[in-house]
A and B are shown apart, each in its own frame.
Chain A
């Protein structure tokens, strides 16, 4: 056995031991966050510390903003007010008719026995800032758990879909923009009714993927949400086709779109209420329930999970 003399100065564990401990801890956090996504509580707890610091850091910008608003000239505000009044009068006829049409549509749907459309409702939220992460496109809005925001709610502005709430903190919520690389929105082309899914590209544009090279798509086509995902309500404008590359050597056309909503602007947005889960038709539901019982207790939770997703 070899005996070492006691150290003169207590310096804690060796640097390499500490390094491996912290690196292992960070790697574990990374893997759990990427694969399992079960660290939301830890994030929320840490945000209780970082959120006040962030608010404080954004104070100067807000003060400048408010000062600018305070010193805005009276004439400009009067102009704006008059313009808004005029546009409200312009819109009022359309709005009144739309309300009547919606009621009529509802009645006709009831007559036909088709499922009723859900009314769009939600709460207005202010965009606080864009997240600093250069790899993703996310914004932070000032509504959180306190306002009963939950992950998955769609976010719109006055022109169309902005994104989707992906993470909720006590006082703020993170919205992934539709231009983010990992965001996909099921859409429908208004002109033809063709259904597809639009993916973000990460550079402010969107791409319609997996449409055949001879698909009926033109520049200027407007894409609206198809509502097939059960998350976005159908009929909200998403993007406009700006550029199509048809290369006969590939089986798919490359179709680039620009978002219609002011996705990269800083303004107010509306967080729409979540859609209720679509229930299965009775026959399928009873079949699923029967199957759930048969294979024993072990398959129960898995089946339930899949049902919930549907």
Chain B
């Protein structure tokens, strides 16, 4: 179902408005009251990593920076805290994208997990320098859950790119 060494399926090209709308929906998810619960993943980081891995030429550090600023303002955190974390992660994801896509989904999740952890670690580092306390280990449950969600996310976000299955004996592909 994905383009890798083992798949035989070819995906349709992604539509830019679909990328934009998934990122906005992720932002909306982050603004839900549930975002205060412990262990809820950072949806924007997850969506950014997904699109940076899948479409490194369309989604990159610029979008990551803008969404980071939006999160900073909405979160009442330091201006630039999320932006810095997202930019670093977008860079990591897009430079690793060729390698990550080569693995089956379970191992992709393993490779994505450190990136998602980096989002929290960068923010923790920034806040610790400024003088905040450690917020507790529940802070790192989010990235674990997000990594577990990776196969499901891949399935859902690639659905619009799947071709209809119609077998035509005369078509070469």
Contacts and interface: CB of A to CB of B under 8 A. Distances in A.
Interface of A: 11, 15, 18-19, 22-23, 25-30, 32-34, 39, 42-43, 46-47, 49-50, 53-54, 56-58, 60-61, 129-136, 138, 140, 167, 174, 181, 202
22 contacts: A18-B62, A22-B87, A23-B84, A23-B87, A23-B88, A25-B83, A26-B68, A26-B80, A26-B83, A27-B84, A29-B80, A30-B81, A42-B79, A43-B73, A56-B28, A57-B29, A57-B31, A60-B32, A131-B75, A134-B136, A136-B132, A181-B133
A42 B79 CA distance: 9
Given A18-B60, A18-B61, A54-B74, A129 B130 contact: no
Contacts of A135: 77, 127, 132-133, 135
A180 to B, nearest CB: 10
A33 B84 CA distance: 14
Contact count band on B:
35 or more
B58 to A, nearest CB: 12
Interface centre among B64, B80, B127, B135 (most CB of A within 10 A): B80
A61 B33 contact: yes
A129 B81 CA distance: 21
A22 B61 contact: yes
Interface string B49-92: 00000000100111011001110011111111101100110010
Interface string B88-113: 10010011000000000000000000
A17 to B, nearest CB: 10
Contact of A33 (B78, B127, B136): B78
A47 B32 CA distance: 16
A132 B30 contact: yes
Contacts of B28: 53, 56-57
Given A22-B61, A132-B36, A34 B78 contact: yes
**6 nearest A-B residue pairs (beta carbon):** A29-B80, A57-B31, A26-B84, A131-B76, A30-B80, A135-B132
Contact of B70 (A11, A33, A46): A46
B24 to A, nearest CB: 8
Given A132-B30, A133-B75, 17 more contacts: A15-B60, A15-B95, A19-B91, A22-B61, A25-B65, A26-B84, A27-B80, A30-B78, A43-B73, A43-B79, A50-B73, A53-B24, A53-B27, A54-B74, A57-B28, A61-B32, A131-B75
A110 to B, nearest CB: 44
B169 to A, nearest CB: 37
Interface of B: 24, 27-33, 35-36, 57, 60-62, 64-65, 68-70, 73-81, 83-84, 87-88, 91, 94-95, 126-127, 130, 132-133, 135-136, 139
Contacts of B136: 134
Contacts of B130: 34
A33 B80 contact: yes
Contacts of B79: 29-30, 32-33, 39, 42-43
A202 B133 contact: yes
Contact of B31 (A47, A53, A136, A167): A53
Contacts of B64: 22
B88 to A, nearest CB: 7
A159 B29 CA distance: 34
Given A30-B78, A53-B27, A135-B132, A58 B33 contact: yes
A135 to B, nearest CB: 4
A174 B77 CA distance: 11
A56 B75 CA distance: 16
A57 B87 contact: no
Contacts of B77: 133, 135-136
A136 B83 CA distance: 18
A129 B76 CA distance: 12
Nearest to B83: A26
B16 to A, nearest CB: 16
Contact of A11 (B57, B76, B81): B57
